[in-house]
Structure 1
Amino acid sequence: MPGSEMPAPCVFAPDMAEQVPLWHHYLLAIQSRESPRVQDYQRAENILLTVLERAHALDSRFIVDYSRDLEAFQFALRSSEDPLDVEVLLGVDSEALLIEESEASEPGDGPAICRLGVLKEASGLGPWMTDDIFSVSSEDRDKCSGHIIPGKVLCVLKDLLVAAIVHCKHHRLIPPGSLNAASLKGGQMRLSLQVSSGWRKIRFNVVPVVKKKHRVPALEGALLKLGFPEGILRRIASHGVDLVPANAQHWRISTGYLLSRLLDALGSLPGHRLDSLSILDRVNLESWRGGSQNHGLTFDHLKTVLLWASTLFPAPEDWADLQGSVYRQLVVLLCCLATRNLPHFLYPECNLLQDSGLDLGIIYQQVEHFASQPEESLRIHVTHLGHSRPPRIDNGVKALLQLPASDPTYWTTAYFDFLLDKFQVFNIQDKDRISAMQNIFQKTKTMGSENS
């Protein structure tokens, strides 16, 4: 490992203080676009809700979900144009349903896939036991009379959406040219619709959802309580889970709502958690994905990084400074890219980078370059050009970033404090944290000696 002595923790040098306004200029530029983006989103959402209301009128089993505040909140944070999920609730009594988890699920797959059975003793479920969405059980000894089949549900919903779009256009309930039934695409167990709002085109994924009371053990874990407002995890867990189609026969637990609630909770805390997420999402779009021309990290990837960073850095002082807040996410992101493992926040055994089709080596180089010399990506106007500063890190940092892959005990605040110091942005004065960070340095130094 490079270096023979643990340097004193880095404090802001004069040239680093000069670049603080650069971060704030970049953030202000993002925020200046927020209002028109949200207005475009709200217009597009109103168009889609009008169509969904007509679909409900045609088939009352499908219910419009008007509680969309979390989606608008996240759209305001984002610069990226990734599709947005819109849930269509199935108005079925979930207490009359039995979740039958599939034995085919493999460790590391994340939330288990399951079938949704209708209990034999259930009453009043006639509309949910029709051939268009239901399959009768062939086993007399089963607890269930049959199962609600997600593939069938999607087919019914698609036909409803087509009919609803045609009706709304014919009766001029939606603006001309805003939506076309031809844009309705099926795939990956969701229905994709592109809505025009002003000059912006917003793609929505329409997803049928069954809400069911079900435990999510991670929300009961002590680790998460460190980084979130008191009591919020219990309130989020009381929501239960959303079951969405996994394949033609099975459902799976969707964590989208739970993660969005956790992100919203972070916004209630003082500091720059959400500001730093907005900055990284913009940099990801413009620099790492080439203006959305390249396949790359998504907002959901970056959201997961922030959630992990919030538990690893639970102290308010960690998020008091904008630049430091960005780097707290960057060190976590770099570690995940170097080890090729971004754990799902609620199902850590599931790796969000596995089978993603991403060139993780290229993305790592882009993120490391930004972390080392962020100035060129933050300049939004010719007046922001200034002298180039030397790289903040040396070639040995990637070896340090790969340590959690071989030893998970490195996934601690002390280890990431050590990385922050490598990037010259560790400005915490807490003696216990400084001592723990120095212990990590000694551990890596000893390891380096043994390997040399």
Structure 2
Amino acid sequence: PAAMAVQVPLWHHYLQALRSRAASRAQEHQRAEDVVLTLLERAHALDPRFLVDYSRDLEAFQFALRSSEGPLDVEVPLWVDAEALVIEEVGAAEAGGGLGCCRLGLPQEAAGLERWKAGDVFEASLEGSARSCGHIVPSKVLRVLKDLLVAAVVYCKHHRLIAPGSLSVDSLREEQLGLSLRVSSGWRTLHFNVVPVVRRRLRVPALEGARLVPGFPEGALRGIARQEAALVPASAELWRVSTDYLLTRLLGALGSLPGHRLDSLSILDRVNHESWRDGGRSPGLTFSHLKMVLLWAAALFPAPEDWAELQGAVYRPLVVLLCCLATKNLPHFLHPEWNLLQDPGLDLGALYQRVERFASQPEAALRIHATHLGRSPPPRVGSGLRALLQLPAGEPAYWATAYFDVLLDKFQAFNIRDEQRVSAMQSVFLKTKALGAEDR
């Protein structure tokens, strides 16, 4: 249709504008990261228990996809034999509703772990335990790391190892179970979240059957399944499992496939920052939320033709996101029992309205400057869509490709010719016809 011919260049023009900033963003990230690594090298020299992780390629790759200015995580591995530690899992009540929380205990016979029995990071167990003599305490570890970084800032500035004005001791603050560090890089200030981590091999059942996960390169998944997960601070006393590294590796695997998977993430992150979050001034979805949505979309839409055309590629994660907002549940990709939309600061109703408005008439949000002003095509959908989107809440079987194909058809973004898939989509549509009658 003529309207479609007008829309497609708009999507590509928007993507090209995002890509044009990639080189300068990469340079800004590199300069800021060099400052952080210099500080961490000095911290390691002062206390060898804290290591420097130089394998930061994945963080740079992820930063290049983003438009949002949220904090960038910097993991500081602890020099400890993680396999020798005692993992003491705690219940949800003790964890305050946290997910995958535990204590890190030192075994009674702690050979090679003596340095972690120092009082600045260790707390002896008051109750006798056959398994551990005490615990490595996250709040104490953070306090030591903060003191080390303050000393490192002073040392590096005095010896002119970092550029004048790039950071100050005042920029180092303890917040949200990490250390907030703001580094000036050119005209931009980048916000890093420095987090101590204990890396340990943990079971991730979702990846153990990696060959069964559609939409991802099988060989890459097998390699990711062998990677270590990280334990990061969850509270003053508890640690929790973080799968951020594994998720970013999965994202990198998608980048090895032809098509617009990662382009769709970049576009939605930009729209989220500028439109749904009002230029970052309003709370709302994060890059991590959108990354999780894309991983689900990649599994639900494994066919290469789903990602061959840019507009259609954006609508794949978009319909998944709408469904998650309508049902108030975004399952973690590796632990589907975890709901990532439980933050009380998220107004899911308002977010849903903004995302649906974009899905119905995306053109206004894709206009970068005044030359793009023009008449928008009519809305793609009418009323009654939300009832259709809420179906998976009552019947999880709807969380399948055929159901999301119905949603794509609603938004005029179903461009698949495979007869079996069309038939499956039509079958689901017939089941939902009463709900969708107002939209047709």
TM-score, with length taken from structure 1: 0.93
Label 1:261 to 1:120 Cα distance change in 2 as closer, same or farther (>3 A): same
Amino acid at match of 1:294: S
Range 382-391 or range 307-316, more displaced: 382-391
Q: Equivalent residue for 1:146?
A: 134
Amino acid at match of 1:295: P
SS of 2:405's partner is helix
Offset of residue 107 of structure 1: 11
Q: Equivalent residue for 1:240?
A: 228
Range 23-32 or range 336-345, more displaced: 336-345
Whether 1:339 and 2:327 are equivalent positions in the alignment is yes
Offset of residue 356 of structure 1: 4.1
Q: Equivalent residue for 2:298?
A: 310
* Distance (Å, rounded) in 2 between the aligned partners of 1:448 and 1:59: 63
Whether 1:117 and 2:105 are equivalent positions in the alignment is yes
* Distance (Å, rounded) in 1 between the aligned partners of 2:344 and 2:249: 25
* Distance (Å, rounded) in 2 between the aligned partners of 1:82 and 1:55: 25
Whether 1:425 and 2:413 are equivalent positions in the alignment is yes
Amino acid at match of 2:384: G
Q: Equivalent residue for 1:396?
A: 384
* Distance (Å, rounded) in 2 between the aligned partners of 1:146 and 1:312: 45
Amino acid at match of 1:307: L
Offset of residue 383 of structure 1: 2.5
Offset of residue 104 of structure 1: 3.9
* Distance (Å, rounded) in 2 between the aligned partners of 1:448 and 1:199: 50
Range 237-246 or range 376-385, more displaced: 376-385
* Distance (Å, rounded) in 1 between the aligned partners of 2:132 and 2:189: 44
Whether 1:42 and 2:30 are equivalent positions in the alignment is yes
Q: 1:79 aligns with which of 63, 67, 72?
A: 67
Label 1:20 to 1:137 Cα distance change in 2 as closer, same or farther (>3 A): same
Native 8 Å contact 2:50 2:78 kept in 1:
yes
Offset of residue 293 of structure 1: 1.1
Query: Residue deviations 1:127-161, cap 9 Å, x none?
Result: 11111111122344421222111111011011111
Amino acid at match of 1:157: L
Offset of residue 353 of structure 1: 0.9
Native 8 Å contact 1:134 1:148 kept in 2:
yes
Whether 1:412 and 2:400 are equivalent positions in the alignment is yes
Label 1:122 to 1:136 Cα distance change in 2 as closer, same or farther (>3 A): same
* Distance (Å, rounded) in 2 between the aligned partners of 1:104 and 1:363: 28
Whether 1:273 and 2:287 are equivalent positions in the alignment is no
Offset of residue 14 of structure 1: 2.7
Q: 1:378 aligns with which of 330, 348, 366?
A: 366
Whether 1:215 and 2:194 are equivalent positions in the alignment is no
Amino acid at match of 2:11: W
Identity %: 69
* Distance (Å, rounded) in 2 between the aligned partners of 1:372 and 1:405: 22
Q: 2:318 aligns with which of 321, 326, 330?
A: 330
Offset of residue 386 of structure 1: 2.8
Whether 1:127 and 2:115 are equivalent positions in the alignment is yes
* Distance (Å, rounded) in 1 between the aligned partners of 2:221 and 2:95: 25
Query: Residue deviations 1:403-425, cap 9 Å, x none?
Result: 11111111110000000000011
SS of 1:117's partner is strand
Whether 1:197 and 2:185 are equivalent positions in the alignment is yes
Q: Equivalent residue for 2:13?
A: 25
Offset of residue 259 of structure 1: 0.5
* Distance (Å, rounded) in 2 between the aligned partners of 1:187 and 1:383: 43
* Distance (Å, rounded) in 2 between the aligned partners of 1:234 and 1:223: 8
* Distance (Å, rounded) in 2 between the aligned partners of 1:249 and 1:441: 50
Alignment length, in residue pairs?
437
Query: Residue deviations 1:9-39, cap 9 Å, x none?
Result: xxxx232122111100000000001111110
Native 8 Å contact 2:142 2:196 kept in 1:
yes
Matches within 5 A, 1:53-68: 53-68=41-56
Label 1:421 to 1:280 Cα distance change in 2 as closer, same or farther (>3 A): same
Offset of residue 334 of structure 1: 0.6
Whether 1:362 and 2:345 are equivalent positions in the alignment is no
Q: Equivalent residue for 1:292?
A: 280
Whether 1:163 and 2:151 are equivalent positions in the alignment is yes
Range 372-381 or range 266-275, more displaced: 372-381
Offset of residue 103 of structure 1: 2.8
* Distance (Å, rounded) in 1 between the aligned partners of 2:305 and 2:211: 19
SS of 1:99's partner is strand
Native 8 Å contact 1:109 1:349 kept in 2:
no
* Distance (Å, rounded) in 1 between the aligned partners of 2:99 and 2:90: 11
* Distance (Å, rounded) in 2 between the aligned partners of 1:14 and 1:425: 15
Native 8 Å contact 1:109 1:350 kept in 2:
no
Q: Equivalent residue for 2:213?
A: 225
* Distance (Å, rounded) in 2 between the aligned partners of 1:302 and 1:106: 30
Q: Equivalent residue for 1:4?
A: none
Amino acid at match of 1:144: S
Label 1:405 to 1:310 Cα distance change in 2 as closer, same or farther (>3 A): same
Label 1:250 to 1:224 Cα distance change in 2 as closer, same or farther (>3 A): farther
Native 8 Å contact 2:210 2:225 kept in 1:
no
Give the gaps of 5 or more residues in structure 2: none
* Distance (Å, rounded) in 1 between the aligned partners of 2:212 and 2:284: 28
* Distance (Å, rounded) in 1 between the aligned partners of 2:115 and 2:10: 59
* Distance (Å, rounded) in 2 between the aligned partners of 1:432 and 1:270: 23
Native 8 Å contact 1:212 1:240 kept in 2:
yes
Q: 2:337 aligns with which of 329, 349, 352?
A: 349
* Distance (Å, rounded) in 1 between the aligned partners of 2:428 and 2:100: 36
Matches within 5 A, 1:81-120: 81-104=69-92, 111-120=99-108
Determine which structure has greater relative contact order: mean sequence separation of CA pairs < 8 Å that are 6+ residues apart, divided by chain length.
1
Native 8 Å contact 1:372 1:391 kept in 2:
yes
Native 8 Å contact 2:323 2:390 kept in 1:
yes
Label 1:407 to 1:165 Cα distance change in 2 as closer, same or farther (>3 A): same
Amino acid at match of 2:236: A
Give the gaps of 5 or more residues in structure 1: 1-12
* Distance (Å, rounded) in 1 between the aligned partners of 2:352 and 2:149: 41
Offset of residue 305 of structure 1: 0.5
